[in-house]
Structure 1
Amino acid sequence: MGVREHEHEPGHEFDHDLAHDDVLATTDLIALDGVVPKGGHPVHDRIAGASLGRPLGYALPGAALLGRPGCGGDDADAAKHRDLLLCFPFDLEELPDGRGYQHVTLAVWLDEGTHALALHPAPGTTAADGTEVAAFGLGQDQLRWTYRAPGRSGALRPDGRWAQAVVRLPMTAAEVSGRLSLTTVTVQPVLGGTFLRREAQTPYDTPFRLRLADTWPAAAPVAHDGRLPGAWALAGYEDGAAVDGDGDTPGEELPPGLRRLCLAVDIEKYSARDNADMVRLQRVLLRTLRAACEQAGVEWQHCGRQAQGDGYLLVLEPGIDESRVVPALLAGLAAGLAEANAPAVAAAGAPYGGRDRGPTVPGDIRMRASLHQGIVHEADSGYAGSAVVALFRVLDSGPVRRALADTLSTHLVVAFSDALYQDLVATGYEGLSADGFERAEIRSEAKSFTGVAWIRAMPPSRNAAFAL
């Protein structure tokens, strides 16, 4: 969604006299395909209306934000920042004539000095009614939640929607402020089983301002619920393919493209597990990734995160020291897997971390990982860009799968893209060794992809180190 001019119409100005009014603004949703008469102004075709609730704020005890070190628990940080839970409620107008909302996007622009530490609904959330939520903006001042109805003909409930963000602002700030906007896509059944789709948006951005003196004190820190925080799976993503016929919106700006280091992981033989074991594996996967990030000094909340059940994508924040982060991250993954597998391995009577007795130890967790870096965009349904596509093509390739299947002495096989291998491993940075790497040609005729990867099995010890 492009950032529009945030001039607002008369009658919608922020009014301090309305501080106790629950409604921030009522606004129309104007069709983006409005007709522009020759030599005239666009015809504002009203699709529906919306009510934006006044944002609510809850002051959080910074020492225990999310219950994790590094998210406000540092005394030095606590002296510089304060954390708030902001709630953004909104309602959509009921639609007549069999029309329904296919999806709606709430966009929030926070004023300078404020950024998001956590989003709720979290990326990848599926509500009880099947609504899917994509959320973007961790570590940033531009936030976006997109609620999508289940199925091609599904419709969203128009009322009672909201989004929340834990935000951090300077300790000297007296208020938090920004702008809100809504974009919707409505569908209407027509003859022949097709649907008429129309996109609409608020004609202006609505400003909000919340004085910190008017926030509520939170009775307890925000609890970390442990659910997978990823966005929609990449499994349905294909190069340039639109979802459900969605095309590019005329005039929509391309999201910022930043060079990011990307890590993708996938659990071996996940689909062969029973339901209870799948749940356990997802928990182990998330716990292992978080621990690896902590070991590498990577802020989990500043990473782009995208879950896929048996796999996960991490898009690390720009500007990290890859020569130090990469070996520590992989060592953390190997150590986490060895720790998770210790009970099963011990029960099988094998040495810790060993698999010389065969690949069928109950509960054993084995994983493929791939690393690549390149330009990445935050798109409407996940992270997009040729770097992300190449990352998953390598991860899912035959050579990487065979390397894990044929190496029974490890829990983790890692594949570097050729460019990343040349930058980090071949250059000889401390902690990175070329020993054990094998070059592989990656070809996928079905996906029209060719490339080179460097593959290596990680040592399975409890305190795995990348260099042998």
Structure 2
Amino acid sequence: MTDWAGFRPCTCIAVDVAGYGGNNDRRQSEIQHELPRLLSRAASAAGLDRTRWRVQPQGDGQVALVPQDEGEPRLVDDYIRHLVVELRKYNQQRTGAYRMRMRAALHHGPVELADHGFAGRAVVATCRLLEADQLYQVLARRPDADLALMLSDDIFGTTVGAGHTTFVQEEFDSVLVRKKEYEHPAWLWVPGGAGRQRPDQEAAPAAQLGTSADNGGDLRQTVVTHLYQPDARGSVFGFGSAHG
């Protein structure tokens, strides 16, 4: 992205590594080394040209301005899904503080390149979404989750709500974000289930196996298959036999 004068429409994405401040110096240095590489791999896998993005590093995170001709649905859908994959691969051989878990937020609007960073309410809104209490809370409730995502109501409506992604609305929680001067509805997503899911339900598979009091203790397996798009991503599969 070349320099520009005045305000231009952009998609804003902010990310932050959870629990960064609790790490020692060596681990903080490692996170700052690995984070941009992980983000670049996700963008490349999604077919996005990250060299055109304007990036403002923030130590354990960053704010990026993405040209709108990159396509918001691809950013919301493919980039986020590949980011989850990259985090999962990174964390496979790591435990505890050595895992990298991330918060992410997206919004859009006019932004200006200013002398000390990015100027515009769209950037402020994106940062407030990233600071939302709900993102911290869901990562605390879901220790298995590598990423928690917050979409502004605007960007949710033009991508997920309009049917331009492999996500479906039911995968998101509608929340109200209140942070400093910011108070707006938004949409929360975590891999593997909606954020409102109770901790004791989080490990439950899509196809529930259980014993019913009205069937004499007969264990029945249920087959559940929901295909929302031609692409299988975003679908829920259950496997089993209707006859046990």
Normalised by the length of structure 1, the TM-score is: 0.40
Aligned to 1:269: 19
| CA distance in 2 between partners of 1:308 and 1:330 (Å) | 20
Deviations 1:75-122 (A, max 9, x none): xxxxxxxxxxxxxxxxxxxxxxxxxxxxxxxxxxxxxxxxxxxxxxxx
Aligned to 1:467: 234
SS in structure 2 opposite 1:319? helix
Match status 1:296 vs 2:33: no
Q: Compared with structure 1, are the counterparts of its residues 430 and 309 closer, same or farther at alpha carbon in structure 2 (3 Å cutoff)?
A: closer
SS in structure 2 opposite 1:256? coil
| CA distance in 1 between partners of 2:186 and 2:48 (Å) | 25
Task: Pick one of 94, 102, 105 that aligns with 1:367.
Answer: 102
Query: What amino acid maps onto 1:377 in structure 2?
Result: E
The structure whose residues are more often helix, as a share, is: 2
Deviations 1:274-306 (A, max 9, x none): 011001111221111101111122212110001
Q: Which has the higher contact order (CA 8 A, sep 6+)?
A: 2
Q: Compared with structure 1, are the counterparts of its residues 335 and 264 closer, same or farther at alpha carbon in structure 2 (3 Å cutoff)?
A: same
| Structure 1 segments (4+ residues) deviating >4 Å | none
Aligned to 1:453: 186
| CA distance in 1 between partners of 2:169 and 2:38 (Å) | 25
Query: What amino acid maps onto 1:420 in structure 2?
Result: I
| CA distance in 1 between partners of 2:20 and 2:165 (Å) | 35
Aligned to 1:336: 86
Give the deviation of 1:334 after TM superposition.
Answer: 0.4
Aligned to 1:395: 130
Query: What amino acid maps onto 1:467 in structure 2?
Result: G
Give the deviation of 1:458 after TM superposition.
Answer: 2.0
Give the deviation of 1:434 after TM superposition.
Answer: 1.7
Aligned to 1:246: none
| CA distance in 2 between partners of 1:279 and 1:466 (Å) | 35
Correspondence 1:225-304 to 2 at 5 A? 255-304=5-54
Structure 2: 5+ residue runs without aligned partners? 194-231, 236-244
Q: Which has the larger radius of gyration?
A: 1
Work out whether residues 23 and 97 of structure 2, in 8 Å CA contact, stay in contact via their aligned partners in 1.
no
Give the deviation of 1:322 after TM superposition.
Answer: 1.6
Q: Compared with structure 1, are the counterparts of its residues 342 and 399 closer, same or farther at alpha carbon in structure 2 (3 Å cutoff)?
A: same
Give me the identity figure in percent: 28
Aligned to 1:418: 153
Correspondence 1:95-106 to 2 at 5 A? none
Give the deviation of 1:272 after TM superposition.
Answer: 0.3
Query: What amino acid maps onto 1:449 in structure 2?
Result: Y
| CA distance in 2 between partners of 1:412 and 1:394 (Å) | 14
Q: Compared with structure 1, are the counterparts of its residues 325 and 395 closer, same or farther at alpha carbon in structure 2 (3 Å cutoff)?
A: closer
Q: CA RMSD in A?
A: 1.9
Give the deviation of 1:432 after TM superposition.
Answer: 2.3
Query: What amino acid maps onto 1:328 in structure 2?
Result: D
SS in structure 1 opposite 2:168? coil
| CA distance in 1 between partners of 2:234 and 2:33 (Å) | 28
| CA distance in 1 between partners of 2:58 and 2:52 (Å) | 19
Query: What amino acid maps onto 1:450 in structure 2?
Result: E
| CA distance in 2 between partners of 1:318 and 1:427 (Å) | 17
Work out whether residues 159 and 165 of structure 2, in 8 Å CA contact, stay in contact via their aligned partners in 1.
no
Match status 1:309 vs 2:42: no
| CA distance in 1 between partners of 2:90 and 2:165 (Å) | 28
Correspondence 1:57-456 to 2 at 5 A? 139-140=1-2, 142=3, 255-345=5-95, 361-444=96-179, 447-456=180-189
Structure 1: 5+ residue runs without aligned partners? 1-138, 144-254, 346-360
Number of matched residues?
Answer: 197
Give the deviation of 1:414 after TM superposition.
Answer: 0.5
Q: Compared with structure 1, are the counterparts of its residues 386 and 439 closer, same or farther at alpha carbon in structure 2 (3 Å cutoff)?
A: same
Q: Compared with structure 1, are the counterparts of its residues 262 and 398 closer, same or farther at alpha carbon in structure 2 (3 Å cutoff)?
A: same
| CA distance in 2 between partners of 1:466 and 1:282 (Å) | 31
Give the deviation of 1:318 after TM superposition.
Answer: 3.2
Query: What amino acid maps onto 1:457 in structure 2?
Result: V
Work out whether residues 425 and 434 of structure 1, in 8 Å CA contact, stay in contact via their aligned partners in 2.
yes
Normalised by the length of structure 2, the TM-score is: 0.76
Work out whether residues 17 and 101 of structure 2, in 8 Å CA contact, stay in contact via their aligned partners in 1.
yes
Give the deviation of 1:430 after TM superposition.
Answer: 4.0
| CA distance in 2 between partners of 1:269 and 1:311 (Å) | 12
Work out whether residues 288 and 337 of structure 1, in 8 Å CA contact, stay in contact via their aligned partners in 2.
yes
SS in structure 2 opposite 1:343? coil
Aligned to 2:229: none
Q: Compared with structure 1, are the counterparts of its residues 466 and 309 closer, same or farther at alpha carbon in structure 2 (3 Å cutoff)?
A: farther
Give the deviation of 1:258 after TM superposition.
Answer: 1.0
Give the deviation of 1:326 after TM superposition.
Answer: 2.2
| CA distance in 2 between partners of 1:313 and 1:421 (Å) | 19
